[in-house]
Amino acid sequence: MKSPWMNISVLALSMSAVTTTLYAEEQKSTEVQTEQTAQVDQATNVVKDESNVKAGDSQATQAANALQKQEGDATKETNLQEVFTSNERQYSLIKKGVISSYYDIDYTYYRDSRLDLATGDSTSALQRLRVEEDANHTLTNTFTTQYGLLDNVTLSATIPLLAKKDILKEKTAAGLGDISFGARWEPFPLKQGRLPLVLFGNLSTKTGDSPYEIGIDELSTGKGYYSVGFGASTRKYIDPVVLFSSVSANYGLKESGLNQLRGNRVLESFDPGLSGGFSFGFAYSFNYDVSLTMSYQQSFNTGAKFYFKNDESYQSADQSSAMLSFALGVRVSPETIVNGTVAIGLTEDAPDVSLGLSFPLDIIGFGKKVR
């Protein structure tokens, strides 16, 4: 017969085993549920992250497209401004510390008809009447250097070398022309809706051969007097063109101490008087590589007076000249634009035709822009 204490012990052990088994199953079930919940939460987070990434990518794409559009508009305007200022330098400035150099070669042809008339000494009978055709050819090589003193102040210096030929006189001349110095100043910062204003001034020397200090039938390479000038220019960007205009005035300083024989009189001094002019036009860019600039220039000279010995004087007639210019710009590198110009004289005092070629000197490895 079994002992009652043994039965109680066996019963207790059985209940303990069952309880342990049930608790283990419950713990296992809880862990499975917890793991499943964690997996669901993780999957949910992944979906959210992917949604956030897609949203971020979409916003970044929109921002990039907007920025690209703005950069494209800026590039188009900048390209047009570069094309314009490469040919019309007086309308813009360069940044502080920047040095740039340019070379220009210009050919002008001037043709004139002269009436050679002679009468008898004792009578007014006509002895000679003929028309003489005169033609002058001038080739000018100009070297220009610019320096950005400040962001709104640019200084410049110009050295010309000239070669001339007169068909009627069968004369030629070559040498240094009149060196000039200039400054451009933009007094007001650029602002939306405001036209940019550039004020400029220049001083022209008389380093060339003076026409008042050589023989009357010889050719000169300079104008023979100092002059100072000033003016203002403005421009307006209106897609797809740049409109521009300028006005200027120059005053020539009186030249004294001369001793030039002119016929039977001796020239002692000369007053150049006042000169000035205006211009306007537009620049249009066909594409990134090719552009066209068209402009009209009008100039005048008034008040020129000659003083001879014995208190004689003579005031020359006022002169006015007008020219119509066409310039074609070709971009030969991302930073270099070469301009070719054709100008046609519209008045009697203007050259019949003028041809020009201009390019920055860094195209041949000299005078490269630095900052």
Residue ranges covered by each domain of the chain: 1-87, 92-364
Which candidate, 355, 364, 294, 295, places its Cα nearest to that of 336? 364
What per-residue confidence (pLDDT) applies to 121? 53
The single-letter code of the amino acid at 240 is P
Chain centre to alpha carbon of residue 48? 54
Query: Is residue 38 exposed (0-12), middle (13-18) or buried (19+ Cβ within 10 Å)?
Result: exposed
For domain 92-364, give the fold.
Answer: Porin (2.40.160)
CA distance 201 to 262: 34
What does the pLDDT read at residue 115? 58
Ranges of the chain with pLDDT below 50: 1-14, 16-34, 37-38, 40, 43-44, 46-48, 50-51, 53-56, 60-74, 364-371
At residue 241, the pLDDT reads: 86
Residue that is written with structure tokens 């991302």 in the block: 334
pLDDT at 79: 66
DSSP structure string for 72-116: HHHHHHHHHHHHHHHH-GGG----TT-EEEEEEEEEEEEEEEEEE
Residue ranges in the chain assigned as alpha helix (H):
4-87
Six-digit token pair at 3? Answer: 């002992």
pLDDT for position 331: 86
Joined tokens for residue 238: 């209106």
> In this structure, what are the phi and psi dihedrals at residue 275, rounded to the nearest 5 degrees?
-135, 160
- Least Cα distance to 137 among 160, 112, 163 occurs for 163
Centroid of chain to Cα 334:
15
Q: Are 84 and 93 in contact (CB under 8 A)?
A: no
State how far the Cα of 106 lies from the Cα of 162, in Å rounded to an integer: 10
